[in-house]
Structure 1
Amino acid sequence: MATNKRRSKNPLEVHGALWLSAGGASLAGHGRIELLRAVAEHGSITQAAKAFGMSYKAAWDAIDTMNQRANQPVVERSIGGKGGGATKITDFGQRLIARYEQVHAVHQRFLGLIEQGAMDLDQEFSLLKVLNMKTSARNQWLGTVTAVRAGAVNDDIEVALPGGQCLAATVTRASTESLALRPQMAVIVLIKSSAVMLAVDLTGAVSRHATASKAAWRR
């Protein structure tokens, strides 16, 4: 009982930090991106540093490092002039902030999926289950390839489902090679709803389909 309580109170968790690099050198992480946001808001490295709770030197060193390592400057400073100079985020810097936030959101979702689907050590790990694919195809099954039969143009692929059912698919040879399909490989089978056909009398349906095809061909 004590072991079960310990498991429920202290589940395994996944944590990770996202960093951008340029030329193999660290460019920016969450902290530096937030610093850039502060500079954009206050228009001053001094004010941004105060709002961020760090010294001016540390803030300037971080920004200077980003300017040196990025393909383009992320912050520009103008000295003197009527307003006494200004600091602003460049267009490149603004795009960098926006893109980091987009990637960060995906990164956090991925960490959440891992934590939900892979941290139960009593269950077998499956990357496909973790990814939790979202597509427009509502009919999708996780299975295992049991056979790959090569044809002259297309290949026949058989997939076994967890419940014991078997699915058969015909794919091009190029698809077999690009997906590296092979027996014992875990796959997700996607079927468009428009591709599903239901028949009560399969023999009769096939016969009627063949007759209709011949009639259409004659016309």
Structure 2
Amino acid sequence: MSIYSERDLGEFVLPLALKFGEHEISNRRMKLLEAVHQTGSISGAAKAIGMTYKAAWDAIDAINNRAAKPVVVSQHGGAGGGGAVLSEYGEELIAAFGKLEAMQQELTKLFERHQIEHLTHDLRSVLMKTSARNTFSGTIKSLTKGAVNSEVVLGLQGDDEITAIITNASVENMELAVGKPAFAMIKASFIIVSPERMSSSARNQLCGVVERVTDGSVNAEVVIKLAGGNLVTAIITEGSTQSLGLKAGDKACAIIKASHVIIGVDN
């Protein structure tokens, strides 16, 4: 599952993770273990997967601390910061992880063979992990290319829609087209809340009813339910909450700049 934006936020993946009790070893850290096995050093492994040397060491320490047995054994004195090898237990872990990844891929293919791609898409959207509080699934309604950027309009539940401005390169990388399923993601802190539509350069004004307001010491979380059923979460200051006098049941609009909307698609 790839995510693109004009800020080059990188790629998100549907992850497989390993758990030791309550502690989870992420897919990225498992890839680090595989890289250690291939390169024979922490520094080489870090470089191979695009991780800093310190972050790699911290990750290895965390893995060794959480596992029942040592997973990585360091060998001091080697070139490039010393060597490192996987223990027999570590080799067994990455072998098992590789088999599980293959099984996961086969499961996805099985869904597709049974012609229920729409369910696969929904499962991926539910399982996708991102720091953005607002993630909406929809279908591209229109796509207008400019000299540098493109305007993408995504149809959401009901008649709601959201507009994003992304680079033409991102459009090409994701192979965007009208009718293609996609995701829209917006950070809660990027959203302005208004009791009604307002004159603004922001392309998106999503209006509905306040579902709930959760007060904090500095900021408040405001959740607006749109007519189509989607929930939009905004983080605003406590001062703004008090001046607006927002409470559950009130009408409100979420004001969002098109440049603050990230578009993502399934691979």
TM-score bracket, shorter-length normalisation: 0.3 to 0.5
Largest Rg, 1 or 2: 1
Q: Which has the higher contact order (CA 8 A, sep 6+)?
A: 2
Q: Which has more helix, going by share of residues?
A: 1
The structure that is strand-richer by fraction is 2
Q: TM-score, normalised by structure 1?
A: 0.43
TM-score by length of 2: 0.35
